[in-house]
Structure 1
């Protein structure tokens, strides 16, 4: 029986092993032939997996295999950090909830469902705070409500320099201290980051383009969430050859390019800008072109940041 203790029988010549049924055969003369066995084959010795005093798990987001390790040690409970509450909000008068009819120049809100789904399997409790139109007072009221009782507010849209981009001004009025507004990266240059001391809530304002939201969630939001949960964030990366040469002209920002994994290496997923959401369906990860890098050659090994 798998996992059962061995019977207390005398050992033959100091050896003991378990023989699986497929490891022996009956010969014509009726004699049983055993395959070559080594001492302790098919036997798990006591203390073989871990010894008393060993560290079973370091701080991490618990996975199914981690739960198995805890259960195997007889632990029915474990001390864990509280998952941060995360408010998710979209801004834009043009936005319509999926499933509702469009009217005029309206479009469906894809950013909020994307963020909620993106964060649902991570170390947080995402909470849907709906959409807010491009109106200053409405923006002020929605942001004030979203800050309360949360450790992080993630919103999309309204953070650029347009006439109806009210979010930065409203956040400052509510007492949010601006830490930075603008990042030297593409996509995602207008990103806002701040902290509301009164509520203890961090704020990340993302540009409204879907690809920007997706990339910045991986690059900025997830590492912050890990820190809030008391974890070290380590993106999963692999080093693979580039299938085709990449060239670019704008060198003043780090650029995150979506890629897919192919038989011969990494291939760039072509997309027509930050709003080209359909391209995300083929994306397995990203590569980063650092500031000042104009070209990566075909065959060159690149670090691929995989999407988990």
Structure 2
């Protein structure tokens, strides 16, 4: 009971912080950066190893610069995520702008559903809210459940604020079958790490063997949905654009793993262009092919 009460108090505290204006939240973010980078040194070893393995061609100074830029952005990301709790639709539309929203109607008018691959890149959570405003058709956000049910319910309520339907990863296939005759626009974060017993495929990603989910490919072929990439760009502090990039229009005509390779390669390209905006503190490379073949 005490733990539950503490969690609810924490959620109330986050709600109160979210009422602060953006300019004040960024002052807090400046302080959070100092704490994360210099004092707590939050996952510094993980970040350094990930960047070093991903960019062996870069100099130590270049990798160090990416690391520091990442922590500066991570602090901003934390504050922006908290702001999502109470952000207004007007503010959201101003800060997260689509560049080609007409693409949604283009495919819907053809009777085609859409599956969007996204990465842990820029503010993917804020972009999920923006995604909810793209269409009045069924919008689905596939999420990975948290170990804490209270926080999971809390964050899912935030993500669903503008009409999206939240579906847990393991329920995605069943949900898609149920909605097969209905137009849907679904978004899945493609760079999650599969648990060991669910790994069926490795690819080369950022210069290292990487386990990837095949869910996007399987779902696209199941409902014959167009596969796009949900590309987010940071314009300046607190302002983003997102572009819907077509990857595969006829999934049933593709070879095995072709769709998976398409969205993995596109994410890799984005990260190489502006690496500071990817989630480097995530333990992405937990397993190697050797671990699976033991």
TM class by smaller structure: under 0.3
- Structure with greater helix share of residues: 2
- Structure with greater strand share of residues: 1
TM-score when normalising by structure 2: 0.23
TM-score when normalising by structure 1: 0.22
